[in-house]
Amino acid sequence: MVKSEPTEISDHHTLAIIGSGFAGLGAAIKLEQLHGGSVVIFERASSVGGVWRDNDYPGAACDVQSVLYSYSFAPSHRWRHTYARQAEIRLYLEDLARAHGLMPRIRTEHAVESLSWDADASRWILDTARGWSTANHVVLATGSLADPTLPAIDGIDTFDGPVFHSSQWNHDVDLSGKRVAVVGTGASAIQFVPKIQPVVKSLTLFQRTAPWVMPRNDRPISESTRKRLGSVPGYRRASRAVIFAKREIKLLAFRHPVLMRIGEREGRAHLRHAVSDPALREKLSPNYRMGCKRILLSDEYYPALAQPNVSVENGGVAKVTPTGVVDAAGGVHEVDAIIFGTGFDTSKLPLTDRVFDENGQSMADSWGTSPRAYLGTTVAGFPNLYLMHGPNIALGHTSVIMMFESQLGYIERAMKHAVDASGSIEPTPEAQAEYSADIDELTGGTVWTSGGCSSWYLDPSGRNSNLWPGSILGYRTRTVRFDPTQHLVRSSDGSR
């Protein structure tokens, strides 16, 4: 990707935020106090919400308790279930934007195509779908699970019926009485399969790897509890603290995989309880250590797969024909619709192949096969640019929103430092390298590298560049104090 040259620049902002999901909205709320009126949010879609706008498939919900999967500075006492449904989370985000007066600053249908650093003017030049803008600081809040992946399956374009991905659910297709193929058994598939199984004529599930599925224990939150959460001082904070602590303790097993045997016993019992057919049980038994891939939660998935209108095919899909799907063993399955629950393109962070430094090199090229960022947020050579959900920000054991909150604290302090010094700020290459080495050391011996699976947590070089491998408290400790010695400040006249 080569950077393009600006034509006419239409406006200038102190801070431009790209993306209006959880991260972008959080950034706007936390950072606008620093910058007052000149904050703009560019969003490529027609409304806010990020993954919670796009993923409206049947059964879509979070898999971390909502009390924790929400901002501590914007708590809600309206959650109707332990794990909020997609529509509730989307509404929470829309309310957040409205309540904090962000709507006038959000430019929807404004995809950012590229960004280039103009060192002479100490500003970013943004090429958007609707013209050029500039900004002193940029927060990249473009998510990491925003772009769906359809596997490159032979013949997929020849299929006669509807084909869609779970994150682009085609609500115009009536699945009742249809023969449906579902490809993939990840976090989305285990949510929508139990919802469509009762209405379809037959459901054939194509699985490459059986996931570990644990009891979800989702409960409605009663009206009285909701009232208490809203009115009794400290009650919501206490319930959040309890859930937080329980999840932090679980990190021990990810870091010492032998402890995962305890969870595996529970997982196998969960499967035995729901599936009596030994052949099906065998197919659904994972062959890697629990936690190596994301642990999934469902009380409905196994019972749905045990129904007579469902069959599970191991080994995945070999090809698609105009009338059906051919499995890896050559078996032919005639179907009316194909749904992909195959997850997202996590091989690169969105837009980073179009963020250019002062010499025209893209961030993705500067990384090569393995993304690296200081505190998962700032990148040497890319001043005044902050990645939310950057390298090593995703989590395997708890809510990523708490990582965002720590990041926002760091960004706020870094920006303030730059503003006070009337210059631009970036981490030193040494600070970034040292932080990456810490990540590698922390990752060593964890279930993510030793669990015997292949997962999106590891990049093509085999390195963990996706997950923060430590505790939330550990990350917060690193971000809570700003360390000027780890940063380069360049004043607008170019001096350091």
Residues that bind ligand FAD in the complex, under the rule CB under 6 A: 18-24, 42-45, 50-51, 55, 60, 62-64, 69, 111-112, 141-143, 145-146, 188, 350-351, 388-389, 399-400
Q: What is the rounded distance in angstroms from the CA atom of residue 390 to the CA atom of residue 397? A: 17
* CA 272 centroid distance within chain: 31
Residue-wise burial string across 277-312, b where 16 or more C-beta atoms lie within 10 A, e elsewhere: eeebbebbebebbbbbbbbbbbebbbebbbeeebeb
- Work out the burial of residue 161: count CB atoms within 10 Å of its CB; fewer than 13 is exposed, 13-18 middle, 19 or more buried: middle
- Looking at beta carbons only, is 108 or 321 nearer to ligand FAD? 108
Please say whether the beta carbons of 236 and 77 come within 8 A.
yes
How many Å apart are CA 103 and CA 441, to the nearest integer?
Answer: 43
Helix locations, 189-345, DSSP H = 189-196, 223-231, 235-255, 260-274, 278-283, 301-305
Q: Least Å distance between CB 191 and ligand FAD? A: 8
- Minimum gap (Å) between residue 64 Cβ and ligand FAD: 4
Q: How far is the CB of 265 from ligand FAD (least distance, A)?
A: 24
Phi, psi of 484 (to 5 degrees): -60, -25
Report the residue number, 202 or 298, with the smaller CB distance to ligand FAD: 298
- In the complex with ligand FAD, the residue whose CB is nearer, 100 or 417, is 100
Q: What is the maximal distance between C-alpha atoms in the chain? A: 73
Q: Smaller CB distance to ligand FAD: residue 150 or 433?
A: 150
Comparison of 105 and 389: residue with beta carbon closer to ligand FAD:
389
449-481 as b/e, with b when 16 or more CB fall inside 10 Å?
Answer: bebebebbbbbeeebbbbbbbbbbeebeebbee
- We find the least distance from the C-beta atom of residue 138 to ligand FAD, in angstroms, to be 11
* CA dihedral sign, ordered 345, 54, 156, 329: positive
142 versus 202: smaller Cβ distance to ligand FAD: 142
Kindly state the smallest distance separating residue 20's Cβ from ligand FAD, in Å.
5
Closest separation between CB of residue 68 and ligand FAD, Å? 9
Minimum distance of ligand FAD from residue 389's CB (angstroms) = 4
Looking at residue 76, the DSSP 8-state letter turns out to be -
Least distance from ligand FAD to the Cβ atom of residue 139, Å = 10
344 DSSP 8-state letter: B
**Comparison of 186 and 324: residue with beta carbon closer to ligand FAD:** 186
d(CA 68, CA 65): 6
Nearest residue to ligand FAD on Cβ basis: 50
Nearer to ligand FAD, 193 or 388 (CB): 388
